Amino acid sequence: MPQPEHQPQHLDGTLLMRDEPRYEQARLDAVWNARKPDRYPDAILLAGSDDDVVAGVRWARDNGLKVTVRSGGHSFVGNGVRDGGLLIDLSPLRDTRIDPAARRVWVRPAVTGPEIDRLAAAHGLYFPTGHAPTVAIGGFILGGGYGWNSRTFGPACLSIRAIDVVLPSGQLVHADDENHPDLMWAARGCGPGFFGVVTRLELELYPRHRRILRTTQTYPMELHDDVVSFLCDLLPATPAAVEMSVKAGYTPATGQQAVSMTCTAFCTDETGYDLLAPLETAPFRGQAIRASVNTETSMTELYALADALTPKGLRWSLDGIWCDPPARQVLAAAAPLVSAMPQDSSFLFWMLWGHYPERDNACWSVQAPIYLSPNGGWVDPSEDLAHERWVHGSLADIQHLSRGLQFSDNNLADRPDDGLSPANAARLETIRAVYDPDGLMRGYMTPEESTTALARSATRR
Ligand SMILES: Cc1cc2nc3c(=O)[nH]c(=O)nc-3n(C[C@H](O)[C@H](O)[C@H](O)COP(=O)(O)OP(=O)(O)OC[C@H]3O[C@@H](n4cnc5c(N)ncnc54)[C@H](O)[C@@H]3O)c2cc1C
């Protein structure tokens, strides 16, 4: 570990070495999840400026340390917290700027969705931010970014117009589609394997919806397969402005396990109350335990609902696979995920995505109509293994159905899967070799680095 006399001088922020009192709190704070990784960086830099990031990268390079990054700390596996090296924590940087006429916003990576939404809403504009209000834009957007109304505007990464990046060389560069287009290409979807420190993002904004409507129908768990199949059948004819998902698990409102389908419609002047009408044609509609139909809502309410689904303070384990229809085949294979679901805050989540056109200027390249994601949420550390088995082991058992993963929910160390198409994964490594020939930036996490109970157990099933 480098000696204090060799530490960078004149920082705007703070560098915490491992033996300093505030180090451990900074390490814990770097991970939103209550299930903290058992990994220890040599040092944590709470960056106070772009210059700090440059100084940190150069210091790490000069001292033979690898570099990792934390923006909002929402990586479920604590991807930024690795053994050894320097963790550059960007959370102190929060400034934003908007140009409504140009429909652009400039944000630091640790800025959250509601902060961006407030800026945009003041000018009748919109950006597809993450569902939960605490999710920062940095890791969210690099990993694709499936936000509110993303079926209309695409995964958020496609709306990055430019980035400022500190390269492994220690140089701060501005990248857009003309300057460093290969960096831009990688930033649009390569997830937690990016080979630079993004310090600022320029994002495109869109005309804002006129109103948001929402229908939720809750049914007994026995109807799980019917509910999922029904929405899968509706999906091809459903306008992109309608976001459809299913949550199966314990439902506080009913005090029992239940399955809820929720559809959110982002209406313009031309589209309105009819968008959610097809939901009322469900053949099992009469068996609903609860329903709220076409209720007008707001982004504030939507963020609050998402927050309640995955509250802070629990131990969370997530994973997910993209799947192709037919739904019945996926459901048959996924049956153990339903029958073995832990009876706590854990739930099974289905997102009906459809398809969004891929672009040559983005490495984002893995999608399928259906996304299946077990969300394990619990309190007692002694239950880690059971939950991690339910989440990762169950998906490993149906790996043959996977068309790849979402980097947002990834746990590459406990269930390796494809986050990019083979061609884009190969191109990414070619670009990485140019920008980071010495491997300064820690890339994707490997199974050897996992500290989960699953990784420590004899088998990963
Ligand atoms: C409660 C909750 C709700 C969520 N909801 C959604 C959702 O609706 N849609 C969705 O798509 N995802 C969602 N996610 C997943 C989320 O997008 C990812 O966990 C994402 O990584 C979070 O970004 P972050 O900056 O907070 O993560 P961090 O943990 O700070 O970063 C994760 C990794 O991303 C990379 N990274 C982050 N910032 C930078 C940077 N500035 N420069 C270079 N690399 C960087 C690094 O490899 C870093 O280790 C949710 C997560 C949680 C915990």
pLDDT, mean over the chain: 95
CA distance 88 to 44: 6
Task: Please give the distance, rounded to the nearest whole angstrom, from the Cα atom of residue 332 to the centre of ligand 1.
Answer: 31
Share of the chain above pLDDT 90, in %: 93
CA–CA distance, 291 with 287 (Å, rounded to integer): 10
Tokens 């509609």 locate to 285
Q: How confident is the model at residue 9 (pLDDT cuts 50, 70, 90)?
A: confident
**Residues in contact with ligand 1 (CB, 6 Å cut-off):** 32, 68-76, 79-80, 90, 109, 130-132, 135-136, 138-140, 142-143, 145-147, 192, 194, 197-198, 310, 408
CA 86/CA 7 separation, integer angstroms: 12
For 359, which DSSP code? -
DSSP for residue 438: T
Nearest atom of ligand 1 to the alpha carbon of 68: 49
**Which residue lies with its CA nearest to atom 26 of ligand 1?**
72
Task: At 297, give phi and psi (nearest 5°).
Answer: -135, -175
List pLDDT tens digits, range 373-429: 999 999 999 999 999 999 999 999 999 999 999 999 888 999 999 999 999 999 999
Q: What is the mean pLDDT of residues 229-238?
A: 97
Which SS3 state, helix, strand or coil, does residue 445 take?
coil
* pLDDT tens digits, one per residue of 387-401: 999 999 999 999 999
Which of 292, 283, 229, 284 minimizes the C-alpha distance to 264? 292
Q: How far is the CA of 138 from the centre of ligand 1 (A)?
A: 6
Taking phi first (over 0 means left), then psi (-120 to 50 degrees means alpha), and beta for anything else, what does residue 404 get? left
- Residue that the structure tokens 């009819």 belong to: 274
Residue 460: pLDDT over 60: no
Q: What is the pLDDT of residues 141-178, one digit of tens each?
A: 999 999 999 999 999 999 999 999 999 999 999 999 99
Closest ligand 1 atom to 192 CA? 47
Cis-peptide, bond into residue 326, ω within 30° of zero: yes
The alpha helices in 193-282, defined as continuous H runs, are 224-234
Residues 445-455: tens digit of each pLDDT: 999 999 999 99
Instruction: Give the mean pLDDT of 311-319.
Output: 97
Residue 461 confidence (pLDDT): 47
